[in-house]
Amino acid sequence: MDFIVNMSPTQAHRQLLCYLSLLLALSGCERPAQPPQQYTELHQINQEHRKLIPQVVDDLPVRFSEIMISVVGPNNSTLGARADWELTEGLEKLQAYLKKRVALVRSDLTDGGATGVTLRCNYLDQSGKPSGTDAINIKLNQSRKENITFQNLGVSGAVFRVEVGLDSVIWESQGQEINVLVK
């Protein structure tokens, strides 16, 4: 760095900026691989220790853990939102509930069973106004608990509440899977 002493202040400033730029590039600094609004909101949720527990708004026998914000991208530059869902009752009760919901819109589907569901997540801001949505696909198998990702949390603004409802059911009947909209 002795050579900077013999430079004019402008040259030294330029040289220093070049070195800093090179240092930042080599250290792996990069922009998040997500919209800036989402990164900012997820960061704020984490910093404020904002407790977001998705609330089920219909009689679906499911509950969620608190949404956790974590680093998911390369070089610690992308944040993600995840939570666990679990059945509050047995798989048989869930199947019976889904069969009733399907029968309301498709009375011809009397045999078979649900192999999956799509849940609709509505994100609400501090005043209760909508601030985004997400669709979460869950395959129904013997698992009573699973970790899911909220892809769009924070994309469209601040989130202070998450409401979850049943949107559709994948119903298997006579070897065919049928997507039945039940909302």
Give residue limits of the domains in the chain: 1-30, 33-181
Q: Which residue stretches of the chain are H helix?
A: 2-5, 9-26, 36-47, 91-105
- Angle of CA points 39, 40, 44, to nearest 5°: 115
Question: Is 26 a residue whose pLDDT tops 60?
Answer: no
Choice among 29-33, 51-55, 76-80, 127-131 with the minimum mean pLDDT: 29-33
Q: What is the DSSP letter of 36?
A: H
Give per-residue pLDDT as tens, 173-182: 999 999 999 9
Band (pLDDT 50/70/90 cuts) for residue 141 is: confident
